[in-house]
Structure 1
Amino acid sequence: MKPESSILNRSAMADPAIVKEICRSLKQMRLSKNLTQAELAEMAGLNRVTISRMEAGRAATLLTLVQILRALDKLDILDIFREESEISPLQLLKLQEKRRQRASLSKKKTVADREEKSEW
Structure 2
Amino acid sequence: MNWKRMTDQAIIEVLGERVKQQRINKRYTQKELAEIAGVNTNTIQNIEYGRSVSLSIFIQVLRALKLLDQLDSFLPDQGPSPMMVMEEQAQYQKRVRKPKK
Specify which of 75, 79, 85 is matched with residue 85 of structure 1.
Answer: 79
Q: Is the contact between residue 12 and residue 52 of structure 2 (CA under 8 Å) also seen in structure 1?
A: no
Query: What residue ranges of structure 1 are gaps of 5+ in the alignment?
Result: 1-5, 100-120
- Cross-structure match for 2:98: none
The whole-number CA distance in structure 2 between the counterparts of 1:76 and 1:33 is 16
Aligned-residue sequence identity (percent) comes to: 38
- 1:31-70 to structure 2, matched below 5 A, reads 31-70=24-63
- The structure whose Rg is larger is 1
Count of equivalent residues: 90
Query: What residue ranges of structure 2 are gaps of 5+ in the alignment?
Result: 93-101
Question: What is the Cα-based RMSD across aligned positions, in Å?
Answer: 2.3
TM-score w.r.t. length of structure 2? 0.75
Q: Is the contact between residue 23 and residue 65 of structure 2 (CA under 8 Å) also seen in structure 1?
A: yes
Q: Is the contact between residue 34 and residue 40 of structure 2 (CA under 8 Å) also seen in structure 1?
A: yes
Higher relative contact order (CA 8 A, sep 6+): 2
Specify which of 3, 13, 25 is matched with residue 6 of structure 2.
Answer: 13
Match for 1:40: what amino acid?
A: L
**1:10 CA drift (Å):** 2.1
The whole-number CA distance in structure 1 between the counterparts of 2:79 and 2:90 is 19
Match for 1:84: what amino acid?
A: Q
Match for 2:79: what amino acid?
A: S
Select the structure that is richer in helix.
1
**1:83 CA drift (Å):** 3.1
